[in-house]
Amino acid sequence: MIGAVVAAETSDYQTKVVVKGLDNPWSIAFISNNDWLVTERSGALRRIINGQLDVNPVAGVPDVLYAGQGGLSEIFLHPKFDVNRFVYLSFSAADTTDRKGNALVIVRGRLQGNKLSDVTTIFKSDPLRKTAAHYGARIQFLADGTMLITSGDGFNYREQAQSLDNHFGKLLRLNDDGSIPSDNPFLSTPGALPEIWSYGHRNPQGLIIAKDGTVFEHEHGPKGGDELNIIQPGKNYGWPAITYGVDYSGATISPFTEKPGMEQPIKYWVPSIAPSDMVLYQGAMFPQWVGSLFVSALVPGDVRRLAMSENKVISEDIMFSEFGRIRSIAEAPDGSLILAVDGNEGSLIRVSADSP
């Protein structure tokens, strides 16, 4: 459903630039309320302590392929980070034997001071791609300690999103060390890759897991047809066999918006908003927002607050449109929202309650 869209009132919050001069910030993680990590797509992992950007990037980050839409993407802390110090990074990387090919890679390392150690590759997408686009690259952990990874269709490989023998256009489920959980949905399917959890996706860049286990995902459509989905294991989400969008040339990708055996989005956007990240707000700072999904967007550049009821979108407000392209949104431990503004002079914006 599309539904009505309204501009939000600005009287409930204030915004402040926390950090400037970031090179295409992509993802944010919070060690504490005063100690943040942020990725720069050009390849650096940066630390922000007490609102100040450390001039020295975190050491030990692997080399990335910084091209097109590729580069250093997600930073995610292990659920038991306070004990094991594990962090996860997603990025695009050139293949070591076929330099024309590249892949989505996930590594795990231990953050010790301002350095990553014991860095291990736990996932590499297969087959290789020759494009530098549509990586997905989001990470989330389920309550059982397994992790979900979004893997995009590589732009030129969209038909493979409907096949189970590759990683294009998939959500994947792994144990925290990269091994395969014993209850993944396609373990007994001949020819299927055992890590696949769902399929038929385009470029999924929003992934959130609610306290009740509901998995919300959003993905870029082509020209129109951005989607917000509730993901269930083993399900087919249709791309490119069904879509609410058309090709960038205006040509038809599929005449169908629905087919038997393929899931429908709970919301879609026409025209596209280019959804880039998402948070399910649970903080104490804005009680009126608890339970809302906040979707950051690149086109024209804003955040959509989606009020939810029984996993359905009941209203949509446009917020923070004054900052341009919003690459990421995250909820800080104190309940404030942090926006990552895209670009080679990117910034972080803190959204907080008005001072009394």
Contact 243, 225 (CB under 8 A): yes
Active site residues: 134
Query: Who contacts 58 (Cβ-Cβ below 8 Å, separation ≥6)?
Result: 37, 44, 45, 46, 47, 111, 114, 115, 116
How is residue 112 written in tokens?
Answer: 């010790």
How is residue 43 written in tokens?
Answer: 């390849």
**CA dihedral (104, 107, 112, 118) positive or negative:** negative
108 φ/ψ angles, rounded to the nearest 5 degrees: -125, 135
**DSSP-derived pairing of the beta strands 25-32 and 14-22:** unpaired
Contact 269, 224 (CB under 8 A): yes
**C-alpha to C-alpha distances, 159 to 141, 200, 313, 347, nearest whole angstrom:** 28, 9, 30, 37
From CA 140, how far away is CA 132, in angstroms rounded? 23
Contact 116, 109 (CB under 8 A): yes
Buried b (16+ CB within 10 A) or exposed e, 152-186: bbbbebbebbbbbebbbbbbbbbebebeebeebbb
